[in-house]
């Protein structure tokens, strides 16, 4: 039997023989039958075909990729979509001005005509997922060019079945390239903004509370999918109509209790569960560098945002994107160190070595995998640091530098877009750009780079001069302003562009990047090959452990229960909402209430200010039908579902297929979850759907959204 077929057989046997804890795992929808028995035992009341079916409507038809980086769910028969506030944040920011500050004030469309078209935003719905491992790997011996050729053939075959220009076909590796699956999506490109709470509600707690439990954030926003009159996907048109979906999620206001079944469906981005101790050590260093660099830049941005509403609006999305992974990097390292994840991985590696050493055939196949991974990690450590600093300080930290790159691309290779499309893209850049802010940030980034990176990797434009002088010279370019860009683009001469200080500076950074990239690619290819062998061996060793592939932004299902957790050495505030003493430490209860909103209130503080209207509603207990049985209004709750970035906005679904909340975060104690699953600590933080509906109805006064929903009996 060929190796790939042996691996596939082992995988099926392992899943069938599973005794793994059900809470762990990000499961492919088309393999749900393998998990069905456990799901049913925990309280799942639907059938596998109710979750995933190609031939009839199922839950998968209500789950969407939102914007290419988050998840959303269809909640009405008119294409209404719920997702997180932080997922819709970029669109909310784009539509905001000082006169119409939707970030500060919120927005509620009271009619279809008031729903705001959102260019560049799209959602995608999965049509089919299938195993194509044999076709992809057939005759390749894992040669990349041969694999790519087979993928192209399969893609062409699927294009004959899915013929719309809005169909998108992706074939991705799973289990580090030991398996391959094809996913077919239908992209909808007319998506309009319907409603959003203000930042004071949708981002309540800000960076201080990010990744922390207890939470009181009402992290949601509302959009709508539009189609051509015949129901097919279409670009924006005034004649388009709301989508009539195959399925939408009913909403439950019944609530939940500890131990209730909970399922999350969505598109988790990246996990690294098969990583070795050597890789994690490098990842921790990168987390440290990333947090340091972003922290420096964010100080500059935050100061300017605090001083000006116009700058606050321009930089809201940029700051949010940066700060989210700044905080995650910090909390991940705390968790990795605190739970000794490296030590756990080292024990797994010794177990692996002991296993293959018991059999000559196994030893021949697997003995070099770990040593090869270690060698690549050791060789790559310094290179990876410089590579990260180049990306974070220059490409991610200097807006003007990257804008110059986009102009170079268009002028020298204009085939990807028309001149009109490029001008629109450039104007979008200037709309959300502040020269003074970028100037100060660029100086800070350049100084940090020179301090932390060896002189051999300093770009030419920062040599034999001061940082202030070098950055000042870059900002003399006419491309700094929209007017200067418009004048240049009328007749974009190559010679003029190549002499521009922005472009010259970019090219000097690019030279360093290219030098690093060749080594980086070689190391990555070597690591990929070694990881494929190691992953195959680990799953062969753990034959009954129910292996699941790492997340790779394909649709997954994770199931578990509503749960609290205990922290032995809790460092947060005691005797507040959802925090209780217990004999084993501090009990963090599985839900929070609006009592905690008022406990956290700091008037005038941008993270903890409570809007007067919301405060009055809470004080008057004006919760309507959304109150729990005890009269409180739940804000957020915990489940032990296995999620990661990309799951933001995912629906939390009860055992009967009803929506009970939106997943939006993980807890700090388990921020090592991308690398290892800790069942006693890992929790998924969700906003209670009743709090969402309360904000829409009572605070936003937008009953039309409520009236569209289907409420579970």
Residues 6+ apart with CB under 8 A from 395: 401, 402, 405, 509
Residues 6+ apart with CB under 8 A from 333: 284, 287, 288, 291
Q: Is 167 a catalytic residue?
A: no
pLDDT tens column, 31-75: 998 899 999 999 999 999 999 999 999 999 999 999 999 999 999
What's the DSSP call for residue 121?
-
- Strand positions, DSSP E, 136-209: 167-174, 179-188, 190-196
Per-residue pLDDT band for 91 (boundaries 50, 70, 90) equals very high
Alpha-carbon torsion 635, 641, 647, 653, what sign?
Answer: negative
Alpha-carbon gap, residue 484 to 502, rounded angstroms: 13
Q: Is 219 a catalytic residue?
A: yes
pLDDT more than 70, % of the chain:
97
Alpha helices in 182-276 (DSSP H): 199-202, 206-209
pLDDT tens column, 167-200: 999 999 999 999 999 999 999 999 999 999 999 9
Alpha-carbon gap, residue 579 to 574, rounded angstroms: 6
**Which has the closest alpha carbon to 636: 583, 670, 589, 675?**
589
Q: List, edge to edge, every strand of the sheet that includes 579-582.
A: 565-567, 585-588, 579-582
pLDDT tens column, 349-367: 999 999 999 999 999 999 9
pLDDT tens column, 376-387: 999 999 999 999
Instruction: Read off the tokens for 653.
Output: 């679904």
What is residue 375's predicted lDDT score, i.e. its pLDDT?
A: 96
Alpha-carbon torsion 408, 410, 411, 412, what sign?
Answer: positive
What is residue 544's predicted lDDT score, i.e. its pLDDT?
A: 67
Alpha-carbon gap, residue 663 to 215, rounded angstroms: 12
- Tell me which of 18, 23, 86, 674 is the catalytic residue: 86
Per-residue pLDDT band for 11 (boundaries 50, 70, 90) equals very low
Q: Is 172 helix (H, G, I), strand (E, B) or coil?
A: strand
Contact indicator for 133, 4 with CB cutoff of 8 Å? yes
Reported as type and span, the H/E element at residue 292 is: helix 277-307
What is residue 414's predicted lDDT score, i.e. its pLDDT?
A: 75
pLDDT tens column, 600-646: 999 999 999 999 999 999 999 999 999 999 999 999 999 999 999 99
pLDDT tens column, 425-440: 999 999 999 999 999 9
Mean pLDDT for 152-177 is 98
- Tell me which of 190, 219, 283, 438 is the catalytic residue: 219
Which residues make beta-bridge pairs with 242?
226
Angle, alpha carbons 501-322-275 (nearest 5°): 110
Q: What are phi and psi of 466, to 5 degrees?
A: -90, 160
What is residue 555's predicted lDDT score, i.e. its pLDDT?
A: 98
**Mean pLDDT across the chain:** 94
**Which has the closest alpha carbon to 259: 515, 445, 41?**
41
Alpha-carbon gap, residue 100 to 133, rounded angstroms: 51
pLDDT tens column, 292-345: 999 999 999 999 999 999 999 999 999 999 999 999 999 999 999 999 999 999
Between the alpha carbon of residue 232 and those of residues 165, 219, 239, 242, the distances in Å are 11, 30, 13, 11
Alpha-carbon gap, residue 439 to 436, rounded angstroms: 5
- Taking the model in full, what pTM does it have? 0.94
Mean pLDDT for 510-538 is 93
Q: Does residue 408 carry a pLDDT above 70?
A: yes
Instruction: Read off the tokens for 215.
Output: 């939470």
Per-residue pLDDT band for 522 (boundaries 50, 70, 90) equals confident
- Tell me which of 323, 648, 668, 673 is the catalytic residue: 648
What is residue 519's predicted lDDT score, i.e. its pLDDT?
A: 86
Residues 6+ apart with CB under 8 A from 515: none
Q: What are phi and psi of 18, to 5 degrees?
A: -60, 135
Mean pLDDT for 206-232 is 97
Per-residue pLDDT band for 477 (boundaries 50, 70, 90) equals very high
pLDDT more than 90, % of the chain:
91
Q: Is 86 a catalytic residue?
A: yes
Q: Is 146 helix (H, G, I), strand (E, B) or coil?
A: helix
Which residues make beta-bridge pairs with 71?
65
Alpha-carbon gap, residue 616 to 601, rounded angstroms: 13
pLDDT tens column, 541-586: 987 677 899 999 999 999 999 999 999 989 888 899 999 999 999 9
pLDDT tens column, 118-147: 999 999 999 999 999 999 999 999 999 999
Maximum Cα–Cα distance across the chain: 74
Per-residue pLDDT band for 4 (boundaries 50, 70, 90) equals very low
Angle, alpha carbons 566-569-570 (nearest 5°): 70
What is residue 9's predicted lDDT score, i.e. its pLDDT?
A: 40
Between the alpha carbon of residue 150 and those of residues 87, 356, 457, the distances in Å are 35, 32, 40
Alpha-carbon gap, residue 653 to 266, rounded angstroms: 11
Give counts: helices (H), strands (E), the chain: 25, 22
Q: What are phi and psi of 512, to 5 degrees?
A: -65, -45
Residues 6+ apart with CB under 8 A from 409: 416
């Amino acid at each position: 039997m060929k190796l790939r077929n042996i691996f596939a057989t082992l995988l099926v046997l392992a899943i069938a023989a599973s005794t793994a804890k059900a809470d762990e795992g990000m499961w492919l929808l088309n393999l749900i039958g393998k998990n069905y028995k456990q799901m049913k035992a925990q309280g799942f009341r639907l059938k596998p075909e109710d979750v995933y079916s190609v031939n009839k409507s199922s839950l998968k038809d209500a789950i969407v990729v939102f914007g290419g980086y988050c998840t959303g769910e269809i909640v009405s028969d008119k294409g209404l979509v719920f997702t997180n506030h932080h997922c819709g944040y970029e669109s909310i920011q784009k539509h905001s001005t000082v006169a119409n500050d939707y970030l500060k004030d919120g927005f509620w469309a009271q009619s279809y005509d008031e729903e705001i078209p959102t260019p560049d935003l799209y959602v995608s719905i999965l049509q089919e997922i299938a195993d194509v491992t044999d076709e992809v790997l057939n005759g390749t011996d894992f040669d990349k060019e041969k694999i790519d050729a087979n993928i192209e053939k399969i893609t062409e075959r699927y294009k004959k079945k899915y013929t719309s220009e809005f169909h998108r076909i992706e074939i991705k590796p799973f289990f580090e390239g030991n398996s391959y699956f094809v996913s077919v999506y239908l992209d909808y490109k007319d998506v309009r903004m319907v409603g959003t709470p203000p930042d004071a509600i949708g981002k309540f707690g800000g960076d201080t509370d990010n990744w922390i439990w207890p939470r009181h954030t009402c992290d949601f926003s509302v959009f709508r999918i539009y189609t051509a009159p015949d129901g097919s996907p279409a670009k924006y048109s005034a004649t388009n109509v709301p989508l009539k979906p195959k399925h939408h999620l009913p909403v439950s206001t019944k609530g939940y209790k500890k131990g209730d079944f909970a399922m999350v469906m969505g598109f988790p981005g990246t996990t690294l569960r098969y990583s070795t101790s050597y890789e994690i050590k490098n990842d921790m260093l990168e987390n440290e560098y990333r947090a340091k660099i972003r922290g420096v830049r964010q100080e500059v941005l935050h100061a300017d945002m605090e001083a000006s509403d116009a700058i606050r609006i321009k930089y809201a999305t940029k700051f949010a994107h940066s700060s989210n992974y700044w905080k995650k990097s910090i909390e991940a390292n705390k968790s990795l160190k605190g739970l000794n994840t490296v030590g756990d991985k080292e024990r797994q590696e010794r177990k692996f070595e002991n296993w293959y050493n018991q059999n000559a055939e196994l030893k021949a196949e697997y003995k070099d995998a770990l040593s090869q991974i270690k060698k690549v990690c050791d060789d790559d450590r310094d290179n990876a640091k410089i590579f990260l600093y180049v990306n974070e300080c220059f490409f991610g930290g200097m807006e003007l530098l990257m804008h110059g790159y986009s102009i170079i691309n268009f002028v020298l290779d204009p085939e990807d877009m028309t001149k009109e499309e490029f001008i629109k893209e450039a104007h979008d850049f200037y709309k959300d750009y502040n020269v003074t802010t970028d100037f100060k940030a660029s100086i800070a980034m350049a100084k940090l780079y020179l301090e932390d990176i060896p002189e051999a990797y300093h770009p030419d434009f920062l040599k034999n001069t001061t940082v202030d002088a070098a950055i000042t010279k870059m900002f003399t370019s006419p491309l700094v302003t929209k007017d200067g860009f418009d004048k240049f683009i009328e007749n974009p001469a190559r010679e003029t562009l190549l002499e521009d200080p922005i472009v010259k500076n970019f090219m000097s950074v690019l030279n360093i990047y290219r030098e690093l990239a060749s080594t980086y690619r070689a190391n990555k290819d070597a690591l990929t090959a070694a990881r494929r062998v190691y992953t195959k061996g680990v799953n062969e060793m753990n034959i009954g452990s129910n292996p699941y592939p790492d997340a790779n932004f394909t649709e997954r299902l994770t199931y578990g229960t509503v749960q609290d957790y205990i922290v032995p050495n809790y460092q947060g505030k005691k005797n507040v909402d959802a925090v209780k003493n217990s004999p084993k430490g501090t009990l963090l209860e599985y839900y929070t209430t609006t009592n905690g909103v008022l406990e956290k209130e700091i008037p005038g503080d941008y993270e903890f200010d409570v809007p007067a209207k919301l405060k009055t509603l809470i004080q008057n207990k004006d919760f309507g039908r959304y109150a729990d049985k005890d009269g409180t209004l739940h804000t957020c709750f915990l489940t032990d579902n296995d999620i990661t970035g990309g799951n933001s906005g995912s629906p939390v679904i009860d055992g009967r297929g009803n929506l009970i909340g939106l997943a939006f975060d993980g807890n700090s104690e388990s921020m090592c979850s991308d690398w290892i699953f800790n069942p006693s600590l890992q929790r998924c933080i969700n906003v209670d759907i009743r709090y969402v509906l309360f904000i829409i109805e009572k605070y936003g006064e937008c009953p039309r959204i409520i009236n569209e929903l289907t409420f579970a009996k």
